[in-house]
């Protein structure tokens, strides 16, 4: 099993550019989430989904969009990149509410 796969691993964007961070899981998990991690800030929830077709906002959703058209995929779109979005982004999935999450290896994004 691949688990949770994130691509790309590294990305440099210019301010104002848009891009999509990909996340796919092969464990048939219903719950998927996107986090960002900044030094000294811990993990902060951006968006999450409890199943295909269902998404909701987390703590820091501004500047990001998500969609969940299939159980497997949960892409995160940066609409117009800003330097404040420089961070490490993690995608995670869980089989259901109340269970632990499995994380992807992360995407390191730098916006210049």
Residue 86 touching other proteins (CB under 8 A): no
State the binding string over 44-83 for other proteins (x if CB under 8 A, else -): -x--x-x-----x-x-------------------------
Instruction: Name, in order, each residue with C-beta under 8 angstroms of 41's C-beta and a sequence gap of 6 or more.
Output: none
Instruction: Name, in order, each residue with C-beta under 8 angstroms of 29's C-beta and a sequence gap of 6 or more.
Output: 71, 93, 94, 95, 102
Residue 98 touching other proteins (CB under 8 A): yes
| CA 41 distance to own-chain centroid | 17
Residue 89 touching other proteins (CB under 8 A): no
Contact residues toward other proteins (CB under 8 A) are 31, 33, 40-43, 45, 48, 50, 56, 58, 90, 92, 94, 96-106
């Amino acid at each position: 099993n691949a688990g949770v796969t994130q691509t790309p691993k590294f990305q440099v964007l210019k301010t104002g550019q848009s891009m999509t961070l990909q996340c796919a899981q092969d464990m048939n998990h219903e719950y998927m989430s996107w986090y960002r991690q900044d030094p000294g800030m811990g993990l902060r929830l951006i968006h999450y989904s409890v199943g295909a077709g269902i998404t909701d906002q987390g703590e820091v959703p501004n500047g990001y969009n998500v969609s969940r058209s299939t159980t497997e995929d949960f892409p995160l779109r940066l609409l117009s990149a800003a330097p404040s979005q420089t961070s490490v982004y993690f995608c995670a999935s869980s089989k259901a509410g109340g269970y632990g999450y499995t994380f992807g290896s992360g995407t390191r994004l730098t916006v210049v």
